[in-house]
Copies of this chain bind each other. A is one copy, B any other.
Amino acid sequence: MVGYGFMGAAHSHAWRTAHRFFDLPATPVLHTLAGRTESSLVAAAERYGFARTTTRWQDLLEEPEIDVIDICTPGDTHVEIALAALASGKHVLCEKPLANSVEESERMTAAAADARAQGVRSLCGFSYRRTPALAYARQLVAEGAVGEIRQVRAQYLQDWLSDADAPMTWRLDKDKAGSGALGDIGAHIIDLAQWITGQDISAVSGTLETVVPTRPAAGDMQGLGGTGDLSGERQQVTVDDLALFTARFADGVLGSFEATRMAQGRKNAMRVEINGSKGSIAFDFERMNELEVYDATAPAGRQGFTRVLTTEPEHPYAAAWWPTGHGLGYEHTFTHQIADLVRAIGEGTDPSPSFEEALQVQRVLAAVEASSADGSSWQGVAPSAAAKNSISTSTSQERTR
Q: Chain B residues with Cβ under 8 A from A308's Cβ?
A: 301-304
A304 with B265: in contact, given A48-B20, A286-B325, A331-B322 (CB under 8 Å)? yes
Chain A, residues 121-163, CB within 8 Å of chain B (1/0): the string is 0000000000000001000000000101011010000111011
Tell me if A207 is interfacial: C-beta within 8 Å of chain B.
yes
Tell me if A288 is interfacial: C-beta within 8 Å of chain B.
yes
- A207 near B254 with CB under 8 A, answer yes
* Cβ contact of A300, chosen from B20, B262, B268, B314, cutoff 8 A: B314
Q: In the assembly, what is the distance between CA of A278 and CA of B327, in Å?
A: 24
Tell me if A269 is interfacial: C-beta within 8 Å of chain B.
yes
- B287 near A293 with CB under 8 A, answer no
* Cβ contact of A264, chosen from B12, B260, B294, cutoff 8 A: B294
Q: Which residue of B lies closest to A294 (CB)?
A: B265
CB proximity to B under 8 Å, residues A1-37: 6, 9-10, 12-13, 16-17, 20-21
- A311 near B276 with CB under 8 A, answer no
Q: Which residue of B lies closest to A312 (CB)?
A: B301
Tell me if A326 is interfacial: C-beta within 8 Å of chain B.
yes
Q: Chain B residues with Cβ under 8 A from A391's Cβ?
A: none
- A276 near B264 with CB under 8 A, answer yes
Tell me if A386 is interfacial: C-beta within 8 Å of chain B.
no
* Cβ contact of A260, chosen from B136, B151, B329, cutoff 8 A: B151
- A6 near B265 with CB under 8 A, answer no
- A20 near B47 with CB under 8 A, answer yes
CB proximity to B under 8 Å, residues A84-136: 136
Q: Chain B residues with Cβ under 8 A from A21's Cβ?
A: 9
A268 with B301: in contact, given A162-B150, A254-B244 (CB under 8 Å)? no
Determine, out of A51-59, A216-224, A339-347, A370-378, the stretch whose residues face the partner at the interface.
Answer: A370-378
Tell me if A211 is interfacial: C-beta within 8 Å of chain B.
yes
Tell me if A68 is interfacial: C-beta within 8 Å of chain B.
no
Report how many copies the assembly holds. 4
Tell me if A66 is interfacial: C-beta within 8 Å of chain B.
no
CB proximity to B under 8 Å, residues A353-401: 375-378, 400-401
A324 with B264: in contact, given A246-B244, A302-B308 (CB under 8 Å)? no
Q: Which residue of B lies closest to A148 (CB)?
A: B164
Q: Chain B residues with Cβ under 8 A from A325's Cβ?
A: 158, 266-269, 285-286
A287 with B287: in contact, given A301-B314, A304-B308, A324-B268 (CB under 8 Å)? yes
Q: Chain B residues with Cβ under 8 A from A323's Cβ?
A: 6, 268
Q: In the assembly, what is the distance between CA of A301 and CA of B314, in Å?
A: 5
- B307 near A262 with CB under 8 A, answer no
Q: Which residue of B lies closest to A211 (CB)?
A: B150
Q: Which residue of B lies closest to A331 (CB)?
A: B322
Tell me if A49 is interfacial: C-beta within 8 Å of chain B.
yes
Q: Which residue of B lies closest to A248 (CB)?
A: B207
Shortest distance between the CB of A372 and any CB in chain B (Å) = 10
Q: Chain B residues with Cβ under 8 A from A377's Cβ?
A: 375-377
Q: Which residue of B lies closest to A270 (CB)?
A: B325
- B264 near A296 with CB under 8 A, answer yes
Tell me if A170 is interfacial: C-beta within 8 Å of chain B.
no
A307 with B309: in contact, given A263-B275, A265-B280 (CB under 8 Å)? no
Shortest distance between the CB of A246 and any CB in chain B (Å) = 5
**4 more A-B contacts (CB under 8 A) besides A150-B211, A266-B275, A288-B327?**
A9-B401, A136-B301, A207-B254, A246-B376
The 8 closest A-B pairs by CB, nearest first: A268-B325, A267-B325, A265-B294, A301-B314, A329-B329, A326-B330, A304-B308, A150-B262
